[in-house]
Chains A and B, each alone.
Chain A
Amino acid sequence: MNELMARLSAYDWGGDRGSLKDIDNLIVAAQGDPGKLSELELALLEVLQSELRLPAKEYICRQLALLGTARCVPVLAGMLTDPELSDRARFALEAIPDASVDDALRSALANAEGVLRVGIVNTLGERRDAKAVPLLTELQKSADGVLARAAAAALRKIAPPA
């Protein structure tokens, strides 16, 4: 595992995608084994919080979309307000079926700005987060047309018109 994570830590633009296939395969093989999945999640989270180039962070987010649990939500939520990482974090968060994701997304709305905020609104809509309705209803009135339209679209997904 350590050697694999070292390979991942060195991954950069132009890096050998084949060198990460062993991690892909470990994740596939761990299905149905909560212990192994948890071990992988922890290892990926540890690398994610180290000094990394963007492709490595993106790779980890893609894997967390597959195996992430509530455990990785705080780390991913911390990336939501980072212009370079916000979309990557949502890629993982949008797929993780845990209510803590919705809580984190709603909390992040207050701190995120511009297009990052729109992205969070979109993810709340895709997750059909009913608790977000009051927030989205307010955002629907925003003077920022892109944000207002995104909020309206999210509300239509959460509560489609009859």
Chain B
Amino acid sequence: MPTSSKNPVSRSRIITRRSFLGRSAAATGAAAAPALLPASAWGADGQVAPSNRITVGLIGHGMMGRGHLGRLLSAPEIEVLALCEVDRTRLDAGLAAVAGAYAERSASGAYAGCGAYADYRELLARDDIDGVVIATPDHWHSPMSIHAAEAGKDVYCEKPISITIDEGRQLVHAMRRHGRVFQNGSQYRTSPSIRRACDFIRKGGLGNVTAAFTLWRSMGEFIGGGRFQPYAACVNPAVTGKYYAPQDYALPEEPVPDGLDWDLWLGPAPARPYNSLYHINPMPGVVPWSFCEDFGVGPSTWYHSHAADVLQYALGYEESGPVELLHPGSGEFPTLTCCYANGVLLHLVEGWDQVKSLYQAVPQEAQLDGSFGGVVVGERGWLTTMSGGSGVTGGPEELMAEYRDPRHDVDLGGKDHHGNWFECIATRGKPHSHEEIGHRAASLGHLTIIAYKLGRSLKWDPAREVFPEDAQANRMLRRARRAPWHI
């Protein structure tokens, strides 16, 4: 929605701001400045001078937003200038976190300089912010990213970056048109262990890859939880829980909590009355809204969006996609399967045991666990690209001897996906999971959902991004937005 004629190249604006600060210091008498400013202001004591920091705004301070804010506040090269959150309680909590963290590095021991907004358009209108981190419900990811690009901001956006294939493509166009640095928030992509496993596969360590596996679970796991119990008559887990796509439940209206702007929460999504299931999630849960197709993409939000870009990276299709979705109803495979142009098959499984029991793709003794990632099988053996559980495992022994990773666990402490984004903002380079990769990862989830919803196999043209033989499926590439929102 916002219109902007700001400088599309953030780097030049940073330099301008820094140059301005330099000139200001000279004009006001630089000799007097050191007595007034702390050492950190000049970059001493290992600190980054304010004029060299990347200025960031955070949009969305729910469970994921809190994690992002913690990472941003711990980065000496970052200054969080603004927070945006439609829920006043969450906004206040974020402001308190910023004040607490920055009070320590201010000369006065206090800090109240963080801007607070309910409407992200006001945050984007600030010309002193270089980039934004977007951690909202999924339906906001593409619109906010596009509007941020139009406002001249670099973007780090939670995954999946879209809820339709068309809006993801529009996001890619916007990033390119405005020369922005975009990072898809699939943090495992930057984990050294995961990258090493993917590189090993890409360089032929498994020989020719034949198949890969990743998780896609039905809705029942999510909506069968205790918090849905009071709404069981509406959600009907016994029936809708069997489906593999998010649903359009008609949850009853509840009072909107004080301080929550429900209309802004909805934004471009179809109007629905407020219900606490969308917004409130007992700790440590995340993505409470993801079961509703207007706000999230169900199993894609939960599992697939973490794994999709890593797997397509390993398979060499990170900037493309499958050519066919094979529905289990076709009888070709027992679970939904994505087929790539080179014949590699990506099977979606309910659990890792199916890799053994249904597909017999790895030995029974193979150790497969963890939630985010997958299993890749080639002529010479198999390897996982998983986080959690046992991390990277593989076989046979000879192959793992060749793999020679000193540690099989996924080095979560070593991942620095945010750091990769910060670095690219400064260098104007391409982050590990840039806009095209993020779009193709999200698209893989959307393609899967379309095939599940239509209950049939589909051919897909990843270059033109259309279903060449299915007009009904093509209708599902995009959906109308609530007025007045547009991208």
Residues of A in contact with B (beta carbons under 8 Å apart): 11-19, 21, 25, 28-29, 31, 55, 58-59, 62, 65-67, 86-88, 90-91, 93-97, 115-116, 118-119, 122-123, 125-126, 146, 149-150, 153-154
Contact = CB atoms under 8 A, between A and B. Distances in A.
A118 to B, nearest CB: 4
B483 A97 contact: no
A91 B294 CA distance: 12
Interface size range on B against A: 35 or more
Contacts of A17: 234-236, 239-240, 247-250
Contacts of A95: 475-476, 478-480
B270 interface: yes
B472 interface: yes
B472 A116 contact: no
28 contacts: A12-B250, A13-B250, A14-B234, A16-B236, A17-B235, A17-B247, A17-B250, A18-B239, A18-B240, A21-B239, A25-B455, A58-B250, A59-B248, A66-B475, A66-B476, A86-B483, A87-B271, A91-B480, A94-B478, A95-B478, A118-B483, A118-B486, A122-B481, A122-B484, A126-B478, A126-B480, A146-B484, A154-B486
B454 A87 contact: no
A153 B480 CA distance: 15
B233 A87 contact: no
A23 B311 CA distance: 36
Contacts of A12: 250
Contact of B455 (A18, A28, A87, A96): A28
Given A14-B250, A17-B240, A87-B271, A125 B475 contact: no
B327 to A, nearest CB: 10
Contacts of B31: none
The secondary-structure label for the interface of chain B is loop
A15 B232 CA distance: 10
Interface string B451-481: 0011110000000000000011011101111
Nearest to A96: B475
B258 interface: no
A150 B486 contact: yes
Interface string B252-280: 11000000000000000011010000000
B44 interface: no
B472 A31 contact: yes
Contacts of A15: 234, 250
Given A29-B455, A95-B475, 10 more contacts: A17-B247, A18-B238, A31-B454, A31-B456, A62-B248, A116-B483, A122-B480, A122-B485, A122-B486, A149-B1
B472 A87 contact: no
B251 interface: yes
A58 B271 CA distance: 10
B71 interface: no
Contact of A91 (B453, B471, B479): B479
A13 B271 CA distance: 13
A113 B239 CA distance: 41
A97 B481 CA distance: 17
Contacts of B234: 14-17
B3 interface: yes
B474 to A, nearest CB: 8
Contact of A18 (B236, B252, B486): B236
Contacts of A58: 248, 250, 270
B126 interface: no
Contacts of B482: 87, 119
Contacts of B453: 28
Contacts of B248: 17, 58-59, 62
Contacts of A146: 484
A90 to B, nearest CB: 4
A14 B233 CA distance: 7
A108 B456 CA distance: 36
Contacts of A149: 1, 3
